[in-house]
Structure 1
Amino acid sequence: MNVYSVVQGLAKNLDNVSDPVFSKRMLGDGVAVEPSNSRIFSPVDGKIIMFFETKHALGIRAEDGAELLLHIGIDTVELNGKPFKERVKIGDSVSRGDLLLEVDFPMIKKSGYDTTVMLIATNRKIQLIKDTGQISIYEPVFRLL
């Protein structure tokens, strides 16, 4: 099953993420994107299974059981949810392309935080499709194995 980008921007390999939790793949493999848009979309059809109170991270269980972590920014938990407007809640069913969040990335940058968005497969191996260059939400970034 293909997993699509959650945001438009510049895709980059996880090796280049400044947080070792992601660059060392402690939670799983995936991709990172430097966002050029404030809207975050569902990468798959599935269900919202986790949403941090601070709105900086959420979990999606795909229809085939794959679990994906979407983490917005690095250390943005410290912003206590201020730059995030959630459009879904735990238990909601989502389709690929559904709007999940709107994010005030300029506020995150102004506050001194990294805006990189990570999409991680936490319970599956992946095959990368695209982890560098410009990407849109219409392009798959990896395939679940």
Structure 2
Amino acid sequence: MLKNLFKKKAENTELVAPITGKVIALEQVSDQVFSQKMMGDGVAIEPSSNEVVSPIDGEIVDVFKTKHAISLKANNGAEILIHMGLETVELDGEGFEVKVSNGDKVEKGDPIAVFHTDIIAGKNYQTVTPIILLNGDEYTADQKISDEDAKAGETILFELKKN
């Protein structure tokens, strides 16, 4: 009983846009893996800029070898995936510059990648960028926004709440 008295309560945290652009509901993404929430809940952004920033205070968990996706863990334990473009794994890193490594500590708004949307689109890939809550069994993406313009590092996309 006393153990719980001193246990630090997990905080809810706000997730900000990792990239500037138009926020769209995840259900509108053309890739069914995302639209049917097979990987988890979240939103997507149709980018209007190239800079990708950290949407949370936390740590870089995994920079995918193909540089098209980065997963992070918020200080409250929520795990987030930023997937730059659709099917972009096939580009094997072309069009992406990653500025972080696994284990790096980051704060909201810290630059983590450059996503060359002109190169990606020029190769006939969609640039829509899903932002996914990976551990939805432990956390909820609450108060999600869509159909709004978002500014990287500033606009709150949703709140990560501990279940």
Q: Same fold (TM over 0.5)?
A: yes
Q: Which residue of 2 aligns with 1:82?
A: 94
Identity value in percent? 37
Question: Within 2, Cα distance between the matches of 1:24 and 1:40?
Answer: 24
Q: Which residue of 2 aligns with 1:128?
A: 143
TM-score by length of 1: 0.97
Runs of 4+ aligned residues of structure 1 deviating over 4 Å after TM superposition are: none
Q: Which residue of 1 aligns with 2:117?
A: 105
Question: Within 2, Cα distance between the matches of 1:128 and 1:120?
Answer: 14
Question: Within 1, Cα distance between the matches of 2:110 and 2:98?
Answer: 12
Mapped pair 1:2 → 2:18: no
Question: Within 1, Cα distance between the matches of 2:134 and 2:111?
Answer: 22
TM-score by length of 2: 0.87
1:8-27 alignment, distance < 5 Å: 8-27=20-39
Q: RMSD of the alignment, in Å?
A: 0.8
Give the structure with higher Rg (CA): 2
State the shift of 1:20 in Å.
0.6
State the shift of 1:135 in Å.
1.0
- The count of aligned residue pairs is 145
SS in 1 for 2:124: coil
Question: Within 1, Cα distance between the matches of 2:34 and 2:66?
Answer: 19
State the shift of 1:130 in Å.
1.4
State the shift of 1:126 in Å.
1.1
Normalized per residue, the structure richer in strand is: 1
1:10-49 alignment, distance < 5 Å: 10-49=22-61
Q: Which residue of 2 aligns with 1:143?
A: 159
